[in-house]
Structure 1
């Protein structure tokens, strides 16, 4: 990696870290950048995942105020994210890259529809909870299964994982969008961190390749971007944040279909 390549990857990492903290889909910046520089798809995917771990952690740290009283949710849903990430990482190392290519754009589109209709669905669910007297602050078993599924997807590729998570959390949990965005960042950190440990283990066993220079540049950039993105996202009104989520999601679909 020469100086210009390093600068390009660093800049992509900053942008990806900020986008991940605000919405998700930061991989749709760093992953294509690595491909454009000539890295093989699996090497680019694995290196990208490793590099974005610190950015996800810094984004979650930036939301520490919103996460302070959500430990129960983090622990419960974190288990689902962990199991899903291990499964997705193993799939990445054993299945052809085309395995998820057909369903990923559809998955993102469904998530965007859920984001748009979230207020109405949330009101309907709140009315049902008020009517039957039941309230589950940590979500139902369906949410746990959904987070598990998003963990599988995140461990395999991860682009737009944040959009899928925020859509599910926003519908299943009766809470402020900013608090849910912090929870989303925490779950994304679990997924990326777990997958990263798996990839490092596989690298030590000679089962995969990693570009450590790419990892370093993305990690440096995404850490800066994650902190900046968390500060910016907290100041964005809920409706505007929802609009940003939709726009980034549509861009993700276009990029995936064109790729």
Structure 2
């Protein structure tokens, strides 16, 4: 039974997650461990976290709508892949036992932490790659299966999904990094929305917690937008990386 003080901690973690997501990414590395630390079962915590933080992806997609112009064919190709992958990931999570998922959690957190740490390297590499169109295949279809596989991971756990999708698009699609980043936002939204809608009927969403987190995350996202000029994303990113490493070690010890 969660207490009023527990809900206060959950609200703060969601506020921090929303702000971190809007500035650097990796908010799940804050909110998900908080839920499990308060005694919420890992699968239910992951499902509740996915549902609560899903609306944040909508803001990111809308903010880059201008860079999606001229990408309608890609959207028709990759959005269904994101939806299919998100649903499959959600189904896999549903059939994963609590004991097995708890064993996987430290590895998933460690993977997400490594992806977050590698984000600047991925972007630097992609910047050079997108400037050399000759290094990429000629068809957007090359990215379909990798995007779908990434979406399966996104529906299952989600942290670091955007980095994986951006790297896949950089390998397969011939376009600028700015336009690929906008496409990535829509794919991530489709993936998380598909998983979240599926989870709505799972019976494992802890609704009081989800509503508190949703409110906190939206406020945190707005706060993060206002702090964009005051906080260096790189500093915040490494702070979250350290938190992720500490949390992963704690899970491994437990």
The answer to whether the Cα contact below 8 Å between 1:21 and 1:230 also exists between their aligned partners in 2 is yes
Shift in Å, 1:86: 1.0
Question: What are the residue-to-residue correspondences of 1:191-230 with 2, within 5 Å?
Answer: 191-203=191-203, 209-229=204-224
Mapped to 1, the partners of 2:127 and 2:150 lie a distance apart of 20
Mapped to 1, the partners of 2:55 and 2:135 lie a distance apart of 43
C-alpha offsets along residues 49-87 of structure 1, whole Å, 9 cap, x if unaligned? 111112222332333344455444333222221111111
> What's the Cα RMSD here?
3.4
**1:77 counterpart = 2:69:** no
Please name the residue that 2:250 is paired with.
Answer: 258
Mapped to 2, the partners of 1:195 and 1:187 lie a distance apart of 12
Question: What are the residue-to-residue correspondences of 1:10-49 with 2, within 5 Å?
Answer: 10-49=11-50
Please name the residue that 2:184 is paired with.
Answer: 184
C-alpha offsets along residues 79-133 of structure 1, whole Å, 9 cap, x if unaligned? 2211111111111111220347546635753675474154345535643x3489x
The answer to whether the Cα contact below 8 Å between 1:13 and 1:225 also exists between their aligned partners in 2 is yes
The answer to whether the Cα contact below 8 Å between 2:115 and 2:163 also exists between their aligned partners in 1 is no
Structure 2 segments unaligned to the other structure (5+ residues): none
Mapped to 1, the partners of 2:222 and 2:127 lie a distance apart of 29
TM-score w.r.t. the length of structure 1 is 0.76
Please name the residue that 1:206 is paired with.
Answer: none
TM-score w.r.t. the length of structure 2 is 0.77
The answer to whether the Cα contact below 8 Å between 2:23 and 2:225 also exists between their aligned partners in 1 is yes
The answer to whether the Cα contact below 8 Å between 1:88 and 1:152 also exists between their aligned partners in 2 is yes
Cα 1:121/1:62, change in 2 over 3 Å: closer
Task: Say which SS state the counterpart of residue 159 (structure 1) adopts.
Answer: coil
Structure 1 segments unaligned to the other structure (5+ residues): 204-208
Cα 1:8/1:170, change in 2 over 3 Å: farther
